[in-house]
Structure 1
Amino acid sequence: MSYELKSATALAGEPCSYAGSKLLVRGPVRNLTEPYLAFIGGTEVFGRFVERPFVAKTEEILQQTCVNLGSVNAGVDSFLKDPDILNIARKAQSSVMQVLGAQNISNSYYKVHPRRNDRFLRAHEPLLELYPEMDFTEYHFNKHLLSALRSCCTNRYETVRDHLQETWVERMGMLIGALEGQVTLLWIHYDVDQQALFGHEPALVDRPMVDALRAQVLGVVEIPVHTARDAEDIDGMFYGQLDLPSAQRMVGPKEQQRIAEQVARYLQPRLAN
């Protein structure tokens, strides 16, 4: 095991930002004047706790510059609200966009942080009316909030969940449209804890939701993976001494390599045309 003394993300590619954007993405900053591929996504694309995320490995295989626009805990809204990141992706030879979780979007029931989309900011009036017995000042993260909603009342929680899933399909469609449909979806999915409410990533996303987007994109690359814990893939990860539980729930270097190989295999013939 490796212990990172400065921070959990202080690796070879420390977080960086591109001109005009406030979103921290995986570094190093790349030269955007030459042809490149763009990868948009959250924690898995960023490669948290991993020295070389799959985007860097894909670049090595394809011998083509790959710009990592992955951001820790980013959701769909992180990118929709960032025209500079969208502009980088639009100018790419090809863009790959991760299928992100449905819990991390602002919606009719609650508002999330504009960049760290996993963070709950406030409840909207419909949620206050649906759950008048709850004090929403106690919650700071979306999964914690939704778990509490379900514990309080399963039927009312399902109303919120259904709305989130419908909003996700609409919002993902908007993001695809912002990239003019010239995008491939990357559906990385894995079990974190089968007994937990949010034990599967991406959270609250199922196959019919992804299928609803297929006609709008160039293709879908589906890759089931395992966490570093389940794949016994902790060695080679970089994390602080208190971050081991979090690192175990992430995608480790071996699975990052496998993702890179499958993504490269998909992109290679398309880049040749």
Structure 2
Amino acid sequence: MTFARSGPIRLDYGLCRYGQSKLMCRGPMRRLKGDYVTFLGGTETFGKFVERPYPALLDERLGATMINMAANNAGADAHGLDEDLLARASDGAACVIQITGAPYVSNRLYSVHPRRNDRFIMASPRLRESFPEFDFTEIAFVGHLMRRLREVAPERVAELEDELRRAWLARMKRMFDAIAAPKILLWIGEAAPPPIGGHIAGKRAPQIVDRGMIDVLRPSVEAYVEVVISPHARAAGTRGMLHSLMEKPAAQAVPNLRAHAEVADALEPTLSGWL
């Protein structure tokens, strides 16, 4: 069954804010008491076009309070620099931290929006000097920036990627240091993390994050869970997702219902042992 329609689809994400945070998280809002588990992440954990993303599935399976603090288009900056959310995650029984792409953090070469981390704000003088032929005024999104720079001067992109890796690792470590609760680092993608310096081409996965970067972070967390979405789940397409016909391409780019179930399956054994 499909829920694609020509008109607007009113999927209620229950958007909410916790404390003084300005980040709009996936709802419904939950009470922060008892042995709750928080989930920090981007569009995949937020569950765009999905009525019951994997935190909601785990809530039902484990009978514990799962609080989805993910936000649409959030990268590591959105949560890593939000002291209010970090404090609430720290007070929980556990925290699941989804790996998001390295381009979606502010760094020494460019800045991103503090909450909508997919939005490009400004290039630094150093980046402008590195790509003098490039017009940055035409760029609104980080993904567009990376694609265009690879087209214009692929031989110069390596320096940019090195900077992104350093900035991403620093932001993730800062986030981990601020969260006292046991932490699960979570990879969600259509492919496993590439080897050091490698890239994932043709499949959806966190960009410019490799196996070496994850290995650097693993001593700082209690568990690492790697979910490679199965061909069976990918073949299900947008079945059961709530989207309009115009939104179908966007729905095809995010985890579907079966993918969310696979993530819940992977996390359940670890979380059940802590609750």
**What is the TM-score normalised by the length of structure 1?**
0.91
Cα displacement string for residues 230-253 of structure 1 (whole angstroms, at most 9, x for unaligned residues): 322311100122110110111111
1:268 aligns with 2:269: no
Counterpart CA distance in 2 for 1:94 and 1:181 is 5
1:206 aligns with 2:210: yes
Q: CA deviation at 1:119?
A: 0.5
Which residue matches 1:239?
243
**Residues 58, 66 of structure 1: 8 Å contact kept:** yes
Counterpart CA distance in 2 for 1:228 and 1:137 is 42
Q: CA deviation at 1:199?
A: 4.2
1:15 aligns with 2:19: no
Report how many residues are paired: 266
Given candidates 197, 211, 219, the residue that maps to 2:223 is 219
Tell me whether 116-125 or 76-85 shows the greater mean CA deviation: 76-85
**Residues 50, 257 of structure 2: 8 Å contact kept:** yes
Residue type of the alignment partner of 1:143: G
**The structure with more strand, counted as a fraction of residues:** 1
SS at match of 1:238: coil
Which residue matches 1:116?
116
Counterpart CA distance in 2 for 1:59 and 1:12 is 18
Q: CA deviation at 1:69?
A: 0.6
SS at match of 1:185: strand
Which residue matches 1:248?
252
Which residue matches 1:60?
60
Residue type of the alignment partner of 2:100: L
Cα displacement string for residues 12-59 of structure 1 (whole angstroms, at most 9, x for unaligned residues): 432221231110111000011333111111111111100100000011
C-alpha change, 1:225 and 1:11, in structure 2 (3 Å) is same
Counterpart CA distance in 1 for 2:270 and 2:200 is 33
Counterpart CA distance in 2 for 1:237 and 1:160 is 36
Counterpart CA distance in 1 for 2:250 and 2:265 is 25
Which residue matches 1:69?
69
Cα displacement string for residues 74-129 of structure 1 (whole angstroms, at most 9, x for unaligned residues): 01110122111111101111111111110100001100000000000010011011
SS at match of 1:137: helix
Runs of 4+ residues over 2 Å off in structure 1: 3-7, 10-14, 195-200, 226-231
**Residues 233, 254 of structure 1: 8 Å contact kept:** no
Structure 2, unaligned runs of 5 or more: 192-198
Q: CA deviation at 1:212?
A: 0.8
SS at match of 2:104: coil
Which residue matches 1:131?
131
Residue type of the alignment partner of 1:163: E
Which residue matches 1:2?
3
Could you tell me the percent identity over the aligned residues?
A: 37
Residue type of the alignment partner of 1:220: Y
Cα displacement string for residues 126-184 of structure 1 (whole angstroms, at most 9, x for unaligned residues): 10110111110000011110111111111211110111112211211111111137311
Which residue matches 1:162?
162
Structure 1, unaligned runs of 5 or more: none
C-alpha change, 1:87 and 1:202, in structure 2 (3 Å) is same
Counterpart CA distance in 2 for 1:228 and 1:122 is 41
Over the residues paired in the alignment, what is the CA RMSD in angstroms?
2.0
SS at match of 2:190: strand
